[in-house]
Amino acid sequence: MVQPSISHSMSRLPIRRNLMTYMHGRRRAAHIHWVCLLALCMAFTLLSMAEAIAASSDSVAVLVRVCDDPDGDGICSVSDNCPTAYNPSQADYDGDGMGNACDSDDDNDGYSDTLEQAMGTNALSSDSQPAASILMLSPVQAQMGIGGSLQLSVVGTFEPPVGGPIEYDMECLVEYQVSVPGIVSISSCGNASAQIEGTTEVWAEQVIGGGPVATSNPATITVNASSTYYVPDDFPTIQAALDAAANGDSIIVRDGVYSGPGNNDIDFTGKVVTLRSQNGAANCIIDGQGSARLFFFHSGEGSGAVVDGFTITGGFSSSTGGAIFCKSSSPTIRNCIVTGNHAISHGGALYLGNGASITLINDIISENSTDANGGAIYCWYSSPSITNCTITANEANYGGGMSGSNSVPVISNSIFWNNFPNEIGGSATVTSSDV
């Protein structure tokens, strides 16, 4: 028997399904259409913004912030108080900005956690400090002129309950005493400055709880009136004058050309001495004659070791630093012309290494060359200060004016120009300069 009503109802189901599918497809297509339209509008907007920026400025800078987290503690290095040590808690016991995970002195008392743990004192309390059994002060004898300075060294020997003795630098952890006040003044970290003529004994004391627990050997410091020596009047060579000079003395070099033994590889041997020409760089020349380096700083010289007003030329080195080699020292070179020098390795004119913070002021460094990098200056873990200098026409494989590694040169009011193949290879802090 035929049932038209049931048959009719069942026959409409596919039509409904098809209609629903059709309508869903239409809605989906409409949604896609609007999404595409929105994306197109955004693209046109961004393009218009880019064109506007390009039209209103010479360059467009894109800043992308990336979270650098080498220790994987979830804290970006820029905010991490121990960027290379896992420390998600950021604990910082002494509040010095260095987290406990990488702070070698958690209580900031000057004694390392390692030393305090070995000696059985509390590494988290600045009131608990280890006592040295021996203090050694050096040098035991020294002379300098008025205005000169001298860095004292203090090494403490500690005897832990377990293991052998431990030596520890203590220049900044002791108090300094003098037998005759006024002859020298001594900073909290052992820099002695000569004030008046005389002789005094100096010694160091480690003080804990208000009293000395260790006392060093005495050192004798004699302060003389500052002397001025002339070359060649008093000494035939520059090196001979430097050998005779005391801290605080001055050496004046008469007009002329100085070369050969005693005038090459000039070594201040750590002294605080001013070496200057009588009438400026144009009249006083130190010449390596293409066979020798001119200056050799390697004994921890500071800014008080001064070279002033020379033409430094003809220097040659089969290694680094054709004119001036400076390692772990920070002398001052001012009012000089450094030209026509060559090094086989880095630094045609100057090589600065191992923390050399040389100061260059009012110098012209030109026409120097190297077979490697840094035609004028090469820096290796060094931070030179370059002020009012002209560095030009120097040549190298890379960094004709200056090159280096792991260094932060500071350049101000200076000109780097016409150096080949480029002015500066590497990073530098530059202000008010033409580079």
pLDDT digits 0-9 by tens, 238-264: 999 999 998 889 999 999 999 999 999
Candidates 383, 328, 343; CA nearest to 360 is 383
Q: How far apart are CA 179 and CA 175, in angstroms?
A: 14
Q: How far is CA 389 from CA 152, 176, 366, 434, in A?
A: 34, 41, 11, 11
Per-residue model confidence as pLDDT tens digits over 320-341: 999 999 999 999 999 999 999 9
Query: Taking residues 19-30, what's their average pLDDT?
Result: 41
**What pLDDT, on the 0 to 100 scale, is given for residue 101?**
84
**What pLDDT, on the 0 to 100 scale, is given for residue 13?**
36
Query: Taking residues 85-105, what's their average pLDDT?
Result: 84
Handedness of CA 232, 238, 240, 246 (dihedral sign): positive
Most confident of 12-21, 393-402, 424-433: 393-402
Q: How far is CA 422 from CA 81, 373, 375, 402, 417, in A?
A: 37, 11, 10, 9, 9
Per-residue model confidence as pLDDT tens digits over 207-242: 999 999 999 999 999 998 889 999 999 999 999 999
Task: State the pairing for strand pair 250-253/228-231.
Answer: parallel
Instruction: Look at the pTM and tell me if it is higher than 0.75.
Output: no
- pLDDT exceeds 70 at position 426: yes
Q: How far apart are CA 232 and CA 253, in angstroms?
A: 7
Q: How far is CA 392 from CA 363, 403, 420, in A?
A: 11, 14, 9
Q: How far apart are CA 250 and CA 242, in angstroms?
A: 9
